[in-house]
Chains A and B, each alone.
Chain A
Amino acid sequence: MSWHALGGSIEQGLAYGVLALGVYLTFRVLQFADLTVDGTFPLGAAVAAVLIVGGTSPVTAVAVAFLAGAAAGAVTGFMHTKMRIAGLLASILTMTALYSVNLRIMGRPNVPLLRQPTIFTMLAERGFDHPLQALVVFGVLALLVKLSIDWFLSTHLGLAVRATGDNPVMIRSLGVNTDSMIILGLAFSNGLVALAGAMIAQYQGYADVGMGLGTIITGLASVILGNALIKPATVFRGTLGALLGAVLYRLAIYFALSAGFAPTDLRIVTAGIVVLALAGPAIKERLAGRKAPTDEELDAIARASGVVPLGARPEQAGKEGM
């Protein structure tokens, strides 16, 4: 085991943590499985790389990448809400279209950033040149993004976005346009994913049109893994879980590779982890071998909750009680 490689995994984990936080917004908050991210991750990388090569400052390039990702997320949201295309399909359509867009932006499949100024070289020039530089940069960035999501989801606007994922009927009955909330949530999420793409392109030294493959699975694996360890009872814990999950996921990959897995086998391992995690509740139910509840048990539960099943009128329920 090399400490250098281990540190690299944590660096990457924090970098991908920003991506996981984006996926948390759609998957956990909006209850929307958004495959757009497979396109917006390389979109962010492509936009940032091309801008940097063209002479734009790396910080500006990252900001523009965020906006480009947000625009792509809004397109998925628009297709889903205004054109009534199923969410998953709408996101696949945007992702597919983004492949062409990303190639157009870059003009070729790969843009190297060697000997180009990046956020990392900029910091080094200003005296922050240390082996832990990338770790600190990604750590601070991930924390800032986490806190900004925590803050956003506690504002009036953020509460409406959360309620849109929880109970759209209810929040509409309070005068909120749920279509706008879905579009806003998808834009914010994809902006963050593109931002992660822009940062990782500078970290690894290139943008590649193929780097988005499996982004959603990486994000989902991180969110699910993290939330298995930290119950997402509050937003604060939910985002913390997503970050922690992203780091653990990178470490798991590192150990899988050390244990002799071929890098090409990683995707099936990841897919397996996600399937197991998603199937968790169903598997638990099977294993518990639950027996059918008796009438007495059902009555007790109904009495305790104060709810009579729909269809049974109070009058009837009263009579049965006598």
Chain B
Amino acid sequence: MLVIKGLTKTFPVGGGSVKIAVDRVDLTVEKGQFVTVIGSNGAGKSTLLNLIAGHHLPDRGTITLDGVDITRWSEHRRAGYIGRVFQDPLQGTAASMTIEENLSMAELRGKRRTLRRGVTPAARARYRELLAPLGLGLEHRLQSEVRLLSGGQRQSLSLIMATMTRPSLLLLDEHTAALDPKTAQQVLELTNRIVTEYRLTTLMVTHNLEHALRLGHRTIMMHEGRIVLDLSGPEREKMTVPDLLKEFSRARGTELLEDRLLLA
């Protein structure tokens, strides 16, 4: 379970002024819940994920994962419990290393790395079993360098690497946005399959409103660093993309109104 309380992050923008990227966000994600995150550019979605992953440290607020306060933990330390897939397919894998070497590194997520042999025959058998269901034929190419794979294959591998140790939390930051529509669809289906099968607590940022509504259990919308809409249950079931767009402009509209009132 992920519990976020009062999480705030500002960035200096020069001239002594600051931009509030994430503004006193409270969010509780139950164990096994799959949450999709939407919002326009600059709404704070990526910053929120970066704060959870420890890429940035917050100015205020706390992050608790499975009851442990990880707010001040270093990025690599919390990576032991948090799997992550990036937007750029090149970022999730080491290009000059083989598929099996990449998988071996992922299998040791958060564990102490010693002078034991990295890829053993037993490990190879495990990796084949893990890759075969993808239907990409990667199980026959364990000793190929990752650089030889296509973007979709690399992203599928990244997804396997992020989830193979069943981390406490999975963060997906627009992980299909750089793929062509057909490949994006395949990676998305794979995502759904893995998250459902392993019952992973998941936050998925997406620009695709249809994906946001169709996948997972809950959808939150961010705007100007805040969560402005939180949908789940029957309310979410009934929601369509045009409804969501309406909600989106309403969220922005009321906010403008509030701002005007405050200024007056």
Binding site for B on A (CB under 8 A): 152, 154-160, 162-163, 166-167, 169-178, 233, 302-310, 313-315, 317-318
Contacts and interface: CB of A to CB of B under 8 A. Distances in A.
B106 A166 contact: no
A169 B91 contact: yes
Contact of A171 (B74, B94, B115, B118): B94
B205 to A, nearest CB: 14
Contacts of A305: 150-151
B176 A314 contact: yes
5 contacts: A159-B104, A166-B95, A172-B79, A173-B79, A306-B180
Contact of A318 (B97, B115, B181): B181
Given A166-B96, A174-B109, A177-B74, A156 B118 contact: yes
A317 B185 CA distance: 14
B86 interface: yes
B179 A307 contact: yes
Nearest to B207: A313
B225 interface: no
B118 A155 contact: yes
B105 interface: yes
A302 B53 CA distance: 31
Contacts of A155: 113-118
A175 B150 contact: no
B178 interface: yes
B80 to A, nearest CB: 4
A307 B89 CA distance: 9
Contacts of A159: 97, 101, 104-105, 113, 118
Q: Is the interface of A mostly helix, strand, loop or mixed?
A: helix
Contact of A310 (B77, B88, B115, B180): B88
Contact of B94 (A157, A158, A167, A175): A167
Nearest to A177: B76
Query: Which 6 pairs from chain A and chain B are nearest by CB?
Result: A307-B151, A175-B79, A166-B94, A306-B152, A156-B113, A175-B110
A137 to B, nearest CB: 27
A233 B152 CA distance: 23
A104 B149 CA distance: 54
Contacts of B183: 306
Contacts of A318: 181
B151 A174 contact: no
Given A169-B91, A175-B76, A306 B150 contact: yes
Contacts of A170: 91-94
A163 B77 CA distance: 17
Interface string B61-104: 00000000000001111011001101111111111110001001
Interface string B131-167: 0000000000000010000111100000001100000
Given A167-B94, A307-B180, A314-B181, A175 B117 contact: no
Contacts of A303: 180
B176 to A, nearest CB: 7
A152 B116 CA distance: 9
Contact of B178 (A162, A174, A307): A307
Contacts of A309: 178
A310 B87 contact: yes
B97 A172 contact: no
A163 B179 contact: no
B244 interface: no
Contacts of B117: 154-156
